[in-house]
Chains A and B, each alone.
Chain A
Amino acid sequence: MPASNPQNPVGRDLALPASELRQVCDPAALNFTSTAEIEIVDELVGQKRALSAIDFGTRIDHDGFNIFALGPTRSGRHGAIHKFLEHKAATEPVPDDWIYVNNFAAPDRPKAIRLPSGIGLRLKASMQELIDDLSAALPATFESEDYRNRRKAIDDDFEATQEKAFDELRAKGQKQNIGILRTPMGFALAPLSGGQVVKPEVFNALLEAERKAIESKIMALQEDLERILKNLPVLERERRRKIRSLNAEIAEMVVGLSISEIAARFAGNDDIKSYLSDVRSDLIDNAELFLRPHQEEEAGPFDAFRQNGLRHPAFARYAVNVLVSHCAEKAEAAARGAPVISEEHPTLGKVLGHIDHRSLMGALVTDFTMIKAGALHRANGGYLVLDARRVLTEPFVWEALKRCLRNKKIEFSSVADELSLVSTVSLTPDSIPLSVKVILVGERLLYYLLASLDPEFDNLFKVQADFEDVTERSADSVALFARLMGSIARQESLLPLSAAAVARLIEQAAREAEDAERLTLRVGILADIIRESHYWATAGKRDRIDVEDVDRALDERRYRSERIRDRSLETITRNITLVDTDGVEVGQINGLSVLRIGNLSFGRPTRITARVRMGSGKVVDIEREVELGGPLHSKGVLILSSFLATRYALPVPMSLWASLVFEQSYGGVEGDSASSAELYALLSALADAPINQSLAVTGSVNQLGQIQAIGGVNEKIEGFFDICKARGLTGRQGVVIPRANCKHLMLRQDIVAAASQDQFRIYAVSTIDEGIELLTGLPAGNRGPDGRFADGSVNARVEAKLMQFAEMRRSFGRSGAEASLESKEQV
Chain B
Amino acid sequence: MMPADYSRPRRVILGLGAGGDMVLAIEAATALAATIGTELLCLMVEQEDLINLAGLPFAQAYGPGGAVSTITARGLEAHFDRMFKVAERALAEACARTNVNWQARRPQGETLHQITASLEQGDAAVLNLRELRGGGHAVFGAVRRLLSVATAVVLVPSAKRSAGAVVAIGDGPAAAVAIAIAEEIGTRMGVRVEVVSAPEFELFHRPIATVVTSLKTVERMGEDEFLNRLTGTGAMVVLVAGRLTEPERRLR
Chain A residues with CB under 8 Å of chain B are 143-145, 148, 152, 181-191, 196-201, 203, 215, 218-219, 222, 225-227, 229-230, 232-233, 294-298
Contact status B53-A184, CB under 8 Å: no
What separation, in Å, do the CA atoms of A298 and B161 have in the docked complex? 9
What separation, in Å, do the CA atoms of A249 and B129 have in the docked complex? 33
Specify which of A182, A185, A189, A227 is in contact with B69 (CB 8 Å cutoff): A185
Contact status B61-A183, CB under 8 Å: yes
Contact status B49-A197, CB under 8 Å: yes
Smallest beta-carbon distance A821→chain B, Å = 121
Contact status A222-B159, CB under 8 Å: no
Contact status A143-B205, CB under 8 Å: yes
Contacts of B20 in A (CB 8 A): 184
Contact status B53-A229, CB under 8 Å: no
Smallest beta-carbon distance B74→chain A, Å = 13
Smallest beta-carbon distance B75→chain A, Å = 8
Contact status A190-B159, CB under 8 Å: no
Q: Which of B129-172 contact A (CB under 8 A)?
A: 133, 159-163
Contact status A183-B64, CB under 8 Å: no
Known: A145-B205, A184-B83, A230-B65; 4 extra A-B contacts, CB below 8 A, are A182-B133, A188-B62, A294-B207, A297-B159
Specify which of A190, A219, A230 is in contact with B52 (CB 8 Å cutoff): A190
Contacts of A203 in B (CB 8 A): 55-56
Contact status B52-A198, CB under 8 Å: yes
Contacts of A219 in B (CB 8 A): 58
Contacts of A185 in B (CB 8 A): 61, 63, 69, 71
Query: Which chain B residue shows the least CB distance to A236?
Result: B64
Specify which of A184, A186, A198 is in contact with B56 (CB 8 Å cutoff): A198
Contacts of B250 in A (CB 8 A): none
Contacts of A152 in B (CB 8 A): 228, 232
Answer whether A148 and B232 are a contact pair too, CB < 8 Å, given A196-B49, A203-B56, A297-B159: yes
Contact status B61-A187, CB under 8 Å: yes
Query: Which chain A residue shows the least CB distance to B203?
Result: A145
Chain A CB within 10 Å, residue with most, of B48, B52, B83, B206:
B52
Contacts of A145 in B (CB 8 A): 203, 205
7 contacts between A and B (CB under 8 A): A145-B205, A182-B133, A185-B63, A185-B71, A188-B61, A190-B56, A229-B64
Contact status A199-B55, CB under 8 Å: yes
Answer whether A184 and B79 are a contact pair too, CB < 8 Å, given A196-B52, A199-B52: yes
What separation, in Å, do the CA atoms of A497 and B56 have in the docked complex? 113
Contact status A190-B53, CB under 8 Å: yes
What separation, in Å, do the CA atoms of A226 and B59 have in the docked complex? 14
B1 within 8 A of A: no
Specify which of A197, A215, A227 is in contact with B53 (CB 8 Å cutoff): A197
Query: Which chain A residue shows the least CB distance to B60?
Result: A188
Contact status B62-A294, CB under 8 Å: no
Query: Which chain A residue shows the least CB distance to B54?
Result: A200
Contact status A200-B64, CB under 8 Å: no
Specify which of B65, B76, B228, B232 is in contact with A229 (CB 8 Å cutoff): B65
Chain A CB within 10 Å, residue with most, of B19, B56, B133:
B56
What separation, in Å, do the CA atoms of A201 and B20 have in the docked complex? 29
Contact status A186-B61, CB under 8 Å: yes
What separation, in Å, do the CA atoms of A218 and B59 have in the docked complex? 10
Specify which of B49, B56, B205 is in contact with A200 (CB 8 Å cutoff): B56
Contacts of A196 in B (CB 8 A): 48-49, 52
Contacts of B163 in A (CB 8 A): 294-296
What separation, in Å, do the CA atoms of A349 and B200 have in the docked complex? 60
B87 within 8 A of A: no
Contact status B58-A226, CB under 8 Å: no
Q: Which of B1-57 contact A (CB under 8 A)?
A: 18-20, 48-50, 52-53, 55-57
Query: Which chain B residue shows the least CB distance to A225?
Result: B62
Contact status A229-B62, CB under 8 Å: yes
Size range of the chain B interface in the assembly: 35 or more
Contacts of A215 in B (CB 8 A): 57-58
Chain B CB within 10 Å, residue with most, of A148, A183, A215, A295:
A183
What separation, in Å, do the CA atoms of A152 and B59 have in the docked complex? 36
What separation, in Å, do the CA atoms of A184 and B46 have in the docked complex? 11
Contacts of B53 in A (CB 8 A): 181, 183, 188, 190, 197
Contacts of B65 in A (CB 8 A): 229-230, 232-233
Smallest beta-carbon distance A218→chain B, Å = 6
B67 within 8 A of A: yes
B66 within 8 A of A: yes
What separation, in Å, do the CA atoms of A152 and B20 have in the docked complex? 26
What separation, in Å, do the CA atoms of A802 and B65 have in the docked complex? 119
Query: Which chain A residue shows the least CB distance to B66?
Result: A230
Chain B CB within 10 Å, residue with most, of A182, A198, A199, A298:
A182
Smallest beta-carbon distance B58→chain A, Å = 5
Contacts of B161 in A (CB 8 A): 295, 297
Smallest beta-carbon distance A10→chain B, Å = 108
Smallest beta-carbon distance A227→chain B, Å = 8
Specify which of B49, B62, B162 is in contact with A186 (CB 8 Å cutoff): B62
What separation, in Å, do the CA atoms of A298 and B203 have in the docked complex? 27
What separation, in Å, do the CA atoms of A191 and B48 have in the docked complex? 14
Contact status A229-B205, CB under 8 Å: no
Contacts of A226 in B (CB 8 A): 62, 66, 68
Query: Which chain A residue shows the least CB distance to B50?
Result: A183
What separation, in Å, do the CA atoms of A183 and B48 have in the docked complex? 11
Query: Which chain A residue shows the least CB distance to B67?
Result: A186
Contact status B206-A191, CB under 8 Å: no
Specify which of B56, B63, B66, B71 is in contact with A191 (CB 8 Å cutoff): B56
Smallest beta-carbon distance A493→chain B, Å = 59
Q: Which of B199-249 contact A (CB under 8 A)?
A: 203, 205-207, 228, 232
Contacts of A218 in B (CB 8 A): 58
Contacts of B203 in A (CB 8 A): 145
What separation, in Å, do the CA atoms of A184 and B51 have in the docked complex? 12
What separation, in Å, do the CA atoms of A182 and B62 have in the docked complex? 10
What separation, in Å, do the CA atoms of A297 and B67 have in the docked complex? 28
When A and B form their complex, which 9 residue pairs have the shortest distance between CB atoms, in order from nearest?
Answer: A200-B55, A186-B63, A185-B61, A186-B61, A197-B52, A230-B66, A197-B49, A229-B66, A190-B53
Smallest beta-carbon distance B118→chain A, Å = 20
Contact status A144-B205, CB under 8 Å: yes
Contacts of A295 in B (CB 8 A): 161, 163
Query: Which chain B residue shows the least CB distance to A188?
Result: B61
What separation, in Å, do the CA atoms of A342 and B160 have in the docked complex? 56
Contacts of B48 in A (CB 8 A): 196-197
Contacts of A190 in B (CB 8 A): 49, 52-53, 56, 59
Specify which of B18, B58, B67, B162 is in contact with A296 (CB 8 Å cutoff): B162
Smallest beta-carbon distance A612→chain B, Å = 105
Contact status B206-A143, CB under 8 Å: yes
What separation, in Å, do the CA atoms of A502 and B232 have in the docked complex? 90
Contact status A188-B66, CB under 8 Å: no
Smallest beta-carbon distance B59→chain A, Å = 6
What separation, in Å, do the CA atoms of A145 and B205 have in the docked complex? 8
Contact status B56-A187, CB under 8 Å: no
What separation, in Å, do the CA atoms of A24 and B65 have in the docked complex? 105
Answer whether A298 and B62 are a contact pair too, CB < 8 Å, given A190-B52, A198-B52, A199-B52: no
Contacts of A296 in B (CB 8 A): 162-163
